[in-house]
Amino acid sequence: MKKLIKEFKEFAVKGNMLDIAIGIIIGAAFGRIVSSLVNDILMPALGILLGGVDFSGLAFTLKGIGDRPPVTLNYGRFIQTFVDFFIVAFALFFIVKGINKLKRQQELPPSPPAPSKEEILLTEIRDLLKEKKV
């Protein structure tokens, strides 16, 4: 039992596990921010542009068959969820694009140092000697 607890502690405090936990927490908070942006700012503005349409209330009711109750298809909520997803995907695209750009800059090999005065002089001497042989 002690070995199992020790293994769990090693697993739980690994850097990757903590990074994942932090990412999940930040992702959840980011999701709430995006949901608020969509529900409280974008969708009302879009509704005004489309003539006062409130997307959250858009629904279609199907009649029940026999003794079954009617079913409501809330396609307005689907539209809002789709806009949420689109905004999150768009934001993450730019975040990943920025991170990849930083990685590429770090991965570039450093440019070779400028030649020293001695190297320049030796190169000139070599070139002159080549010219004399020809």
Instruction: State residue 126's pLDDT score.
Output: 92
CATH code assigned at 29: 1.10.1200.120
Full residue range of the structural domain in which residue 70 is found: 2-111
Does a structural domain hold residue 46? Answer: yes
Residue 126 C-beta-side C-alpha neighbours within 13 Å: 6
Assess if residue 116 is contained within a domain: no
Mean pLDDT by 10 residues, the chain (134 residues): 83 72 85 82 78 77 86 87 80 83 78 87 91 77
pLDDT given at position 134: 62
Selection from 91, 104, 100 nearest residue 37 by Cα: 91
Residue 28 lies in a domain: yes
Model pTM score: 0.50
Output the pLDDT for position 64.
Answer: 81
pLDDT of residue 15: 62
Q: How many C-beta neighbours within 10 Å does residue 63 have?
A: 8
Report yes or no on 123 lying in a domain: no
Assigned domain for 18 exists = yes
Q: Are 58 and 83 in contact (CB under 8 A)?
A: no
Task: Provide the token pair at 123.
Answer: 């190169």
Stated as kind and residue range, the H or E segment containing 122 is helix 117-133
41, part of any domain: yes
What domain count does the chain have? 1
Q: Residue 25: inside a domain, yes or no?
A: yes
